[in-house]
Amino acid sequence: MTDLPLSRSGKNALEVAIRAVREAGQVLLASFQSQRDIKSKGKGNLVSEADMLSEKAILKVLKEEYPDFGFVSEESTLDTSDSSHTWIVDPLDGTNNYVFGIPFFCVNVALTEDKDILMGVTYDPVQEELFYAQKGQDAHLNNSPVYVSGKTSLQNSLVGVDLGYNIDRGRELLDIMIKLWPGVHALRVMGSGALGLAYVACGRIDLYLHRFLYPWDIVSGILLVKEAGGRVTNWDGAEANIRSQEIIAANNRLHQEFISLLTS
């Protein structure tokens, strides 16, 4: 178990992160289905005013409690410091779902020390589901421990995927989906990589795949899946880290079967 650094007010980092995501969740719900100021950052990659307001709410909490820590957030430039600790923030994962009125999106906050993930929180404000993990402890959903699926075969597995914003990588994943189908129970395009990983951690999805991600999409989810007893790797089978862009997440047995399928 890793001890978390205490904040100015004496709380630990997990308590502070949970406060931050809950406040951001309220901001997102207040604007859900009433978005007006929406911009495009690229093909299929939208940013809304709610993204910015959510980020503002999160950073206010984190900077008040940990003024010396570094910050990396999707909607802002890198904010570094001399500290070895860095907050990695996604104020709204699943922006396309959010903008189109689909109630499947979340907020991510994780704390790293150098390349080590100390804790991660993923919050779904619509369902009021709080996924969190601390290094060396179980993953949790609303204070109850959760674990990855016990499925032993892809044939019986529900597989979640997302195509991302890189067209070539998205096409590659479509080809893999064709290779998987109909040899799996079902395929689902999630629209949120963070919730895809959280759903693997709690056993709702048996396998999650993505070919192009950013740190704020995955850092919390990597720790959630690992602490839930699963495995998260790149597509070459190397253990995923905060710089990974490709993700395979599942229990060990399904992970091995999928890697074998890729190379067959």
Q: Averaged over 76-104, what is the pLDDT? A: 86
pLDDT of residue 134 exceeding 50, the answer is: yes
> What pLDDT, in 10s, does the model give residues 242-260?
999 999 999 999 999 999 9
Does the domain at 154-263 match CATH 3.40.190.80? Answer given as: yes
pTM, 2 dp: 0.93
Q: Is the pLDDT of residue 24 over 90?
A: yes
Q: What is the pLDDT of residues 45-75, one digit of tens each?
A: 445 788 889 999 999 999 999 999 999 987 7
Length of the chain: 264
In sequence order, what are the residues at sequence separation of 6 or more whose Cβ sits closer than 8 angstroms to the Cβ of residue 36?
A: 49
Fold of 13-146: Fructose-1,6-Bisphosphatase; Chain A, domain 1 (3.30.540)
* Spatial contact of 219 and 119, defined as CB atoms under 8 Å apart: no
**pLDDT tens, position by position, 71-88:** 998 777 556 667 899 999
DSSP H or E stretch at residue 21: helix 13-31
Residue 228 has a pLDDT of 98
Query: E strands along 75-203, which residues?
Result: 85-93, 106-113, 116-124, 129-134, 139-141, 144-146, 158-162, 186-189
Domain ranges, ordered by start, for the chain:
13-146, 154-263
Strand partners, 158: 186
What are 190-241's pLDDT values in tens digits?
999 999 999 999 999 999 999 999 999 999 999 999 999 999 999 999 999 9
Flag whether pLDDT at 34 surpasses 80. Answer: no
User: What is the pLDDT at residue 44?
Assistant: 46
Average pLDDT, the chain: 91
CA 203, 188, 240: angle at the middle one, nearest 5? 60
pLDDT of 3 over the 90 cut: no
